[in-house]
Structure 1
Amino acid sequence: MPALTSRHWRNAKALFFVICLLPLAYIVYAALNQNLGADPVKALIHMSGEWGIRFFILTMAIGPLRTWLAWGWALRFRRMLGLYTWFYVSFHLLIVTTYLFGWDWAIAQEELAERRYIFVGFAAWVLMLPMGLTSNNRAVRALRKNWARLHMLVYPALFLAWLHIALQVRSSYFDAALYAVIIIGLLFQRFQRFKNTL
């Protein structure tokens, strides 16, 4: 890939920023035009959650892609992808809190206690919260080595995000199995790299 100037990288990041907003634009467009089917709330929850896990997997794929395809340039977009992951997962949580819980803490407590997949999904978001809040240069400088340790939370958060999906399966396990295969493949690459350093 030819060397790019700072201006080119800024333009590329701006374009990538807009591309990452396209799923949100589609969801909003579908909602405004009443194209969400017979159960719009369920559709909103499903679509926002799907994009959350997709962005999560894309973020985790940056490292392996850098190794397998020598895409060193992809690292420039990893932080943005990570923040979009947090954004879409938070959007998913906002929809659940608004339309299922009605911002009623008593209802939220009851749902968290009775539905394991809701508790697991919320736990994944809680683990993502400190990572999202520290995904800036100031936090990197302030935390130093602890920043990398803090962002190791990405691994249990990813597992819980997958488990959140798997626990909701009622008939077809295809999506949950597909995500599992992809995640295991991505983590296997990291395990191999870690083992080689020992």
Structure 2
Amino acid sequence: MNALLLNKAAKPVVFLLSLLPFAWLVWGAFTDGLGANPAEYLIRATGDWTLRFLCIVLAVTPLRVMTKTPALARFRRMLGLFAYFYVCVHLLSYGFFDMGLELGEIAKDIAKRPFILVGFSAFVLLTPLAATSFNRAIKALGTRRWQLLHKLVYLIAGLGLLHFFWMRAGKNDFGEVFVYAAIIGALLAWRAWNAWTKRRAQVLPAARAQLSK
């Protein structure tokens, strides 16, 4: 598996697969395939794909560790940038189709409606992560500070989930919300458990050495 993931063609394939949902939406827009309300469909679909890519990004490390395929890590930044790409399209779709690109009205709407404020906050927090997803940024920030900054992805995923929950609350439709909540909850639980086991592995030998003196 590692050999396959390290192949030169692997990244272009992942790039094209990640771009397929957008291509499908563009095709649907030009062929009247987005239903009776294409604008609403585009807004909802791009929001869904943003949340899906956040879940995929959070899943990279657990999958890498559990399957012992370190080569998976080479796709994490690309997948994170696609999450940002889809949230940008989501925001632009909302601003153009719902608000006619009236910046004053958009600002009022963000301040007035909590679920939009939460979603916009997630976008704002995701922006510095996308802007620093390059080797030069890692060198400029230092590895430790870069890793600390990118831990914001956990908060962003939670805000995205809350945004989705409030959006679905209007229709009392929480089926998909619970699915995403279960996935994100499981991924965060794994990371907490993994961090605890690593900490325990570091502390126990030192404690035993201290006791043996």
TM over 0.5, yes or no? yes
Q: Counterparts of 1:96 and 1:178 in 2: how far apart (Å)?
A: 24
User: Aligned AA for 2:48?
Assistant: E
1:175 maps onto 2:199 in alignment: no
| Pairs within 5 Å for 1:3-152 | 3=3, 9-144=7-142, 145-152=144-151
Q: Counterparts of 1:135 and 1:162 in 2: how far apart (Å)?
A: 23
TM-superposition CA deviations, 1:67-104 (whole Å, max 9, x none): 22222221111111011011111110111111112221
Q: Does the aligned pair in 1 maintain the 2:64–2:73 contact within 8 Å?
A: yes
Q: Does the aligned pair in 1 maintain the 2:2–2:71 contact within 8 Å?
A: no
For residue 155 of structure 1, report the CA deviation from its aligned partner. 1.2
Q: Counterparts of 2:63 and 2:4 in 1: how far apart (Å)?
A: 20
Q: Counterparts of 1:12 and 1:75 in 2: how far apart (Å)?
A: 12
TM-score, normalised to structure 2, is 0.88
> 5+ residue gaps in structure 1?
none
Q: Counterparts of 2:140 and 2:151 in 1: how far apart (Å)?
A: 17
> 5+ residue gaps in structure 2?
200-213
Q: Against the structure 1 CA distance between its residues 4 and 30, is the aligned structure 2 distance closer, same or farther, given a 3 Å change threshold?
A: closer
CA RMSD between the two structures: 1.5
For residue 152 of structure 1, report the CA deviation from its aligned partner. 1.3
Q: Against the structure 1 CA distance between its residues 2 and 113, is the aligned structure 2 distance closer, same or farther, given a 3 Å change threshold?
A: closer
Q: Counterparts of 2:4 and 2:116 in 1: how far apart (Å)?
A: 44
For residue 171 of structure 1, report the CA deviation from its aligned partner. 2.2
TM-score, normalised to structure 1, is 0.94
Number of residue-to-residue matches in the alignment: 196
1:158 maps onto 2:157 in alignment: yes
Question: Runs ≥4 in structure 1, deviation > 4 angstroms?
Answer: none
For residue 2 of structure 1, report the CA deviation from its aligned partner. 5.9
Q: Counterparts of 2:156 and 2:72 in 1: how far apart (Å)?
A: 22
